[in-house]
Structure 1
Amino acid sequence: MKRLVVILSLLLVSSCAKDSSNFTLTGTIKDLKKGTVYLQRVDDSLLVSIDSIQINGDSKFELHTKLDGPEVLYLALDKNGQDSGVIPFFADLGTTEINTSLKNFYMDAKITGSKQQEKLEEYNKMMDRFKDKNLDLIKNNLEARKSNDSILMDSSYKEYNNLILRKYLYTINFAMNNKDSEIAPYLAISEISDANLRYLDTINNALTPEIKSSRYGKILQELITERKKQ
C-alpha cells in the first residue's frame, strides 16, 4: 500500500508539472533498466525535486517544470535506493536534452539546450585546466614533503596561491565579458562570493538591466548588500 501511494504521488507531481510547464528536459541514460530520475532545483540551500519519472526498461525520460527565467537545475538518478549522482545544467524556457550513461552518470553527460549552458560549459572547460594544475601542485607538494625540501614546498605554496588568484581573476573577467547573460551573476555568487566586494560591485554594476532583474542578478545584489552590512 505504501509503495502504491508513493507511485501515485510521483505520477500526480509529474502530471501537475507537465500541465503548467514552460520547460522540458528530455534524454536517455544508457544501460539504465530500472530506477527513478528526478528534476531538481535549489530551494533554501537544499535540493528539492520538482518532477520525476520511474524508469522500467526504457532508458528515455521526459521531465517538466515552470521557470520564471533561466536557472540552474539538476538531473538526479536514484537506482535501487542508491544515489547515482547529480548533473547540474543551466535551463531556460523551452527544451534541454541530456544524454548520459549509467556507468558514468555525471562524466558522460552531453547537454544541449540553452545559450547559458553553452557559456557554463565554456567556463567549466577552463576550470578543468585549473583543477589539473592544482593536482600537479598537490603532487609536487607531497614529493617536497617526502624529501623534506623546504624550498620546493615554499615554491609549490606560492604557486598554489597564484593559481587561486588566477582562477578568481578569470571568473571576474568571464563575468564581465558576459554581462548580458545570467551566467555573470550566477558565477559571482557560486564561484567567488567571498571575493573582495569591489570586484562583486564591478560585476554587479556592469550587468544589463534585464540581467540585474533576473533570479541570480537579485541574489547577487542581496549578497553585496548583506556583506556591506557586515
Structure 2
Amino acid sequence: MKKIALLFIALFIIACGEEKHDLVVKTHIKGLKKGTVYLKKVIDTSLVTVDSMVVNGNPQFELYSDLESPEVFFLYLDKNSSEEDRITFFADKGITEINTTLKRFVFDAEINGSEQQKTLEEYRTVISKLNTRNLEIIKENFEAQKDRDTAKLSALEKEREGALRRKYLFTVNFALNNKDSEVAPYLALTEVYNAKVNLLDTINNSLTPKVKESKYGKQLNNFIKEIKEKE
C-alpha cells in the first residue's frame, strides 16, 4: 500500500510540474527533414511569433500558445530557403491537429480542432468560387483592354461590381447565420470592413453575449465606434 501511495504522490508531483497550455498545435509535416516552423498571431496590429520549433529529422512536433478566446493563428514554414509558406487556422482552447506535406504545405493542410475552424472552412468553400470568377474577370479585362473592346470592358465592370455585391451579401448573411461563432466578427473585420457601417452594425448587434466579449467581438465594436466618430 505504501508503494502505491508513493506512486500516486510521484505522479501527482509530475502532473503539477507539467506546464499547462491553453492551445496545443499538434503538427505533422510529411517529408520535412529540416526547417523552422513558427506559430504566429496578430497582437494589436503586429504579427507576432508565439512559439517556434527547429525541425531536424522528426516531422511530428507540438507548438503552444496562451489563448483567452478563439482566434486566428498562422503556421509558417521556413524551409531554409527564400520560400515561406503559411497555413491560416481558427483555434480554440484545447488541441488543434494539422497534418500536411512539405511539397504542398498549404494546399494539403488538414486541420482538426475547433468548431470555429469548421465554420471558417464552410465560408471559404463558397467564397473561393466567387474569388475564382474574380480572377477570371481580371484576365478577361486585361485582354479586352488590349483589344480595345469597350463593350466587353463595360460588361466586365458590371459583372465585377455584381460579384463584389454578392460577396458582401453572402458574407453578411453568413455572419448573421453564425452569430454564435467568433468567425462572425472576424469576417466582418477582414472581409467586409469597408462595407457601409449599417451592415457592420447589423452583424455586431446580432452577436451573442459570449461572442461580443471575444477578441474579435470587442474589436468589431470598437471599429464601428471609430467609424461613427469620424462621420
**TM-score by structure 1 length?**
0.89
What residue in structure 2 maps to residue 46 of structure 1? 46
Aligned pairs (5 A) from 1:1-230: 19-80=19-80, 82-230=82-230
One-letter code of the match for 1:98? I
One-letter code of the match for 2:53? I
Give me the identity figure in percent: 49
CA distance in 2, matches of 1:197, 1:216: 17
Structure 1 stretches of 4+ moved >3 Å: none
Secondary structure of 2:130's aligned partner: helix
CA distance in 1, matches of 2:83, 2:71: 23
CA contact (8 A) 1:20 1:66 kept: no
1:82 to 1:21, Cα distance in 2 relative to 1, 3 A: farther
State the 1:81 CA deviation: 5.6
CA distance in 2, matches of 1:202, 1:131: 24
One-letter code of the match for 1:156? L
**Residues 109-142 of structure 1 deviation map (CA, whole Å, 9 limit, x = unaligned):** 1111100000000111112101111122123222
More displaced stretch, 36-45 vs 76-85 = 76-85
More displaced stretch, 78-87 vs 110-119 = 78-87
**Residues 6-62 of structure 1 deviation map (CA, whole Å, 9 limit, x = unaligned):** xxxxxxxxxxxx824121001211111011111111113221111111111111121
CA contact (8 A) 1:172 1:203 kept: yes
State the 1:147 CA deviation: 2.3
CA contact (8 A) 1:20 1:65 kept: no
State the 1:214 CA deviation: 0.8
More displaced stretch, 73-82 vs 174-183 = 73-82
State the 1:150 CA deviation: 0.9
More displaced stretch, 212-221 vs 135-144 = 135-144
More displaced stretch, 152-161 vs 19-28 = 19-28
Secondary structure of 1:88's aligned partner: strand
What residue in structure 2 maps to residue 10 of structure 1? none
State the 1:83 CA deviation: 4.7
Q: Considering only CA atoms, is the larger Rg found in Structure 1 or Structure 2?
A: 2
**Structure 1 residues without counterparts, runs of 5 or longer:** 1-17
- The count of corresponding residues between Structure 1 and Structure 2 is 213
